[in-house]
Structure 1
Amino acid sequence: MTTTDTTTKTAPVGETVLDARGVTMRFGGLTAVNDVNLTVSRGEIVGLIGPNGAGKTTFFNCLTGLYIPTEGEVRFKDKVLPPQSFKVTAAGIARTFQNIRLFANMTVLENVLVGRHTRTKEGFWSAILRGPGFHKAEAASRERAMELLEFVGLAKKADHLARNLPYGEQRKLEIARALASEPDLLLLDEPTAGMNPQETRVTEELVFAIRDQGIAILVIEHDMRFIFNLCDRVAVLVQGEKLLEGDSATVQGDERVIAAYLGEPFEGAPGAEEVAEVEAAETQAETTTDAAPGKENDR
């Protein structure tokens, strides 16, 4: 489980942006996340790893208001986050998803403009009457959206439909849309899933560039080379509990982490049935969330 560190990770770490305290999430009688503590600071990249069924995405959903934790609290810039995803976004947290959630029949530019809606102050009547204030705000949003597309390398495809982009570029677009909300914390859920080594390297450089803008980053990923090259700290979840947290060398060298990924039992390790139950509960909860009224199905 060794990797080669090909990138120098140097950035000043600032104030604590995210402070998750004792986060627990239960689905009925099943505990998917149990008493997890985690902090992320400005200018820091923190990784969250673990085998399938470890509760990583459930934990992400607790951080972003999709789920309300059964116990514990999530503090963002020292304030308890509201239990609604749109308010979490407005507070300054943005995320991407394990399964790409773009508006397939909208253009690349329009997808990014959707991400700007939490930062525009024009109200309903302004949009209806389309006065000077509306046009000024619209022009500013388009300018910022184009800047973000340039940043991720998609400016030349601004007028293309999102569904026509190659897979790797769809991932970039999702990141650009997340950045459009001007977040202080960016959560990336498996940003390199399905990518070839070259695309993964480009994504790594993009994440470093985002970090260098002072944005705190928390990332879930199964590509260990990517995660250990990228992150300042790595936390390991196994059966919803934090097994270990430390720098890349510490985590890579821990026998419990190696055993968890190789499927070998260690003291207190969950059985296959427990893992399957957690995965089923997470899938059911995701399906329920996606099917809720008001959810966009054109992805």
Structure 2
Amino acid sequence: MTTTTKTADATTAPTAGEAVLDARGVTMRFGGLTAVRDVNLTVNSGEIVGLIGPNGAGKTTFFNCLTGLYVPTEGEVRYKGTVLPPTSYKVTDAGIARTFQNIRLFHNMTVLENVLVGRHTRMKQGLWSALLRLPGFKKAEAEATERAMELLEFIGLQDKAQHLAKNLPYGEQRKLEIARALASDPGLILLDEPTAGMNPQETRAAEELIFAIRDMGIAVLVIEHDMRFIFNLCDRVAVLVQGQKLIEGDSQTVQSDERVIAAYLGEPVAESTPEVEAPAEEAPAKDAPSKDAPAEEDAPSDEDAPSEEDAPSDEDTASEEDADEAPAEDAPEAADAPESSEDTPHDPASGKENDA
């Protein structure tokens, strides 16, 4: 890419700190779904602001509200202090241009013609002037062509001005879309994922191009998922999560915010760790009874149920009663038994006779 410095040098530097875009309380609802909720964002002249967030956070919807494709349900959008009309072509005429997440070129038109399409908002000639090819229209057309060639030289595609847009490589189609947006001489350009699908070399070229656009005095608001790209590029970064602005600040502040990390990596990261480790922690607990078995044997637990056997039950009580009665009846015989054994120790028959 060849970005010419003369374009940047010829442009007067904007007033520092002047608010170019001021979005206040922007809310967008689709039936019962709130895609954007009460978002405030300011972009100053000569500033590059990044807008990041997970997929489905409402970034592109917010862009559509800024550029008139959607009419916000609540809130207002001001450009240089003036409330923007809710019509896309009037927003472009006011001074805001944009690119899209998906490339939207006129593929069967040449590279030059695509840039001229973006220039038509600055051409003031009417229909009859164009149909009759009046001198005023011819002059305006020559000026538009000259400006378009300057922009093609700015992005490095001047040698492919007569090529069909569909024949350009992907990275050059992205740059052509930016050139078409610049053709309307905007004070603010909105870039929706300008490096999507690019390789590292093309991403670096896009970064240099955006810096060159900023040097021309044009404020930039960019959506991107490449965090390295966005943090190297932007002066400030705002984070959208579920349609709400979570935080806004410089790159270091945003990168170190725990809420941003949780939004990208997932809220349950810290909480899920104990759940994963829980089985490992519970496993020793299951083995614990075997280790603690001696303690349980010593302690009076359910395993000491034999103590109930030792305890007098109904059957044992009955046996004890019988046992108490039996000695009473057999006591004389028990007493005689030893005497007989003493008197006739060698005559077992006599013992039998005595027993009989």
Tell me the TM-score range normalised by the shorter chain.
Answer: 0.7 to 0.9
1:118 maps to which residue?
121
Query: Structure 1 vs Structure 2: percent identity of aligned residues?
Result: 84
1:154 maps to which residue?
157
The one-letter code matched in structure 1 to 2:234 is: C
Aligned counterparts of 2:268 and 2:66: Cα–Cα separation in 1: 30
Partner secondary structure for residue 25 of structure 1: strand
Aligned counterparts of 2:175 and 2:68: Cα–Cα separation in 1: 23
1:241 maps to which residue?
244
Aligned counterparts of 1:13 and 1:69: Cα–Cα separation in 2: 29
TM-score by length of 1: 0.84
- Deviation at 1:12? 7.4
Match of 2:67 among 45, 64, 75: 64
- Deviation at 1:131? 1.1
1:269 maps to which residue?
none
Structure with larger RCO (C-alpha < 8 A, sep 6+): 1
2:208 maps to which residue?
205
2:309 maps to which residue?
none
2:35 maps to which residue?
32
Change (3 A) 1:75 1:245: same
2:87 maps to which residue?
84
Aligned counterparts of 2:266 and 2:206: Cα–Cα separation in 1: 29
Q: How does 1:182-197 map to 2 (within 5 A)?
A: 182-197=185-200
Count the aligned residue pairs: 257
- Say yes or no: does 1:168 pair with 2:181: no
TM-score by length of 2: 0.71
Structure with a larger share of its residues in helix? 2
Q: Which runs of 5+ in 1 are unaligned?
A: 1-10, 267-299
- Say yes or no: does 1:75 pair with 2:78: yes
Q: How does 1:93-132 map to 2 (within 5 A)?
A: 93-132=96-135
- Deviation at 1:259? 1.1
Q: Tell me which structure has the larger Cα radius of gyration.
A: 2
1:55 maps to which residue?
58
Aligned counterparts of 1:238 and 1:199: Cα–Cα separation in 2: 28
The CA RMSD over aligned residues, in Å, is: 1.3
Partner secondary structure for residue 134 of structure 1: helix
Partner secondary structure for residue 43 of structure 2: strand
Deviations along 1:115-154, whole A, 9 cap, x unmatched?
Answer: 0000001111100110111110110000000000000011
The one-letter code matched in structure 2 to 1:84 is: T
Partner secondary structure for residue 55 of structure 2: coil
The one-letter code matched in structure 2 to 1:142 is: T
2:262 maps to which residue?
259
The one-letter code matched in structure 1 to 2:193 is: E
The one-letter code matched in structure 2 to 1:53 is: G
Partner secondary structure for residue 156 of structure 1: helix
2:230 maps to which residue?
227
4+ residue runs of structure 1 moved beyond 6 angstroms?
A: none
The one-letter code matched in structure 2 to 1:206 is: L
The one-letter code matched in structure 2 to 1:242 is: K
Q: Which runs of 5+ in 2 are unaligned?
A: 1-13, 270-356
- Say yes or no: does 1:14 pair with 2:17: yes
Partner secondary structure for residue 31 of structure 1: strand
